[in-house]
Amino acid sequence: MTSAAQSLVPYDRWLPQLADLRERYADADPFPHIVLDDFLQPDVAQQLLEEFPPLSPEWIHYVHVNERKFGKTERDTLTPFIGTLIDEFNSPPFVDFLGQLTGIEGLLPDPSLEGGGLHQSTRGGFLNIHADFTVHPHRRTWRRRVNLLLYLNHGWDDAYGGHLEFWDRDMRRCVQRVAPVFNRCVVFNTDADSYHGHPDPMTCPEDVTRKSIALYYFTDELRPAVRSTEYRPRPGDGLRGAWIYLDKMALRHYDRVKRTFNLSDRFASDLLRFFSRSERR
């Protein structure tokens, strides 16, 4: 392991704890996960935050009934430091660390950052409870297995909302709530019923955004079952549950088209923004 990699991810801190971390991960409720505070060295996390780009038209718009957030997935549009950190998260030493942590053999990184990369949400942003898509849209044999989220939010007030929620497999109750505080890393299994999200619109000030870096990891399998993102209503959502279902089904059709024609989320984002501008004229 190079000294440059060691300076980005403090392996000498986390590797000696692997046995304990692996046990905590496997025993976590409602599905395997772990929360690692102060994950990176403070100066590394601070530089990531300082170079985190503000929202602009170039960000992908994930804006529909089931979510309101923005993403930046193109590796070549990131600052060199952020890009290097993401490269390290996709490197063999780090992927091996995740494999030992999760107990999943043969994990594969996704350099294309499909659906991942940088995420940012403004006041009113939300992400309804869901289980993630099960297979990489452009690699038919890649089954999605693990998510890594690194939060970069100094002074995050609980009153803002935006907590990551983990729900039980029957969607009856929220089991865990994780505040998106600075330099906190969350790793969790993405099984077909690993329900998570932050469903209530945030109430942060207009000049505050919820910032995170997201990496997804896969295993190569012969015929993994393909399913698009499975959004679910919460108990008490009432009629809103019907809109959640209808939007989910529309996204399911889009997912089929995306896989068939090898489309990118950038294409859908640009299309939605075009129609939105047309409606305002």
pLDDT at 40 over 60: yes
Q: Quick one: pLDDT band at residue 246, thresholds 50, 70, 90?
A: very high
* Burial bucket for residue 191 (CB in 10 Å: 0-12, 13-18, 19+): middle
Over residues 247-252, the mean pLDDT reads 96
Cis peptide bond prior to 30, omega within 30° of 0: yes
Of 148-152, 207-211, 262-266, the poorest mean pLDDT is in 262-266
Q: Which secondary-structure segment (H or E) carries 51?
A: helix 42-51
Range of the domain at 51: 3-280
pLDDT at 271 over 70: no
pTM: 0.94
- Tell me what pLDDT residue 42 has: 96
- Tell me what pLDDT residue 7 has: 78
- Tell me what pLDDT residue 275 has: 47
Q: What is the residue-averaged pLDDT of the chain? A: 94
Which CATH number is 191's domain given? Answer: 2.60.120.620
pLDDT digits (tens, 9 = 90+) for 100-155: 999 999 999 999 999 999 999 999 999 999 999 999 999 999 999 999 999 999 99
Percent of the chain with pLDDT over 70: 93
- Tell me what pLDDT residue 19 has: 97
* 75: its two tokens: 């590796």
pLDDT at 219 over 60: yes
User: CB–CB of 119/43 below 8 Å?
Assistant: no
Number of domains composing the chain: 1
User: CB–CB of 133/229 below 8 Å?
Assistant: yes
Amino acid (one-letter) located at 2: T
Percent of the chain with pLDDT over 90: 90
- Tell me what pLDDT residue 1 has: 55
pLDDT at 236 over 60: yes
User: CB–CB of 65/244 below 8 Å?
Assistant: yes
* 191: its two tokens: 């099984």
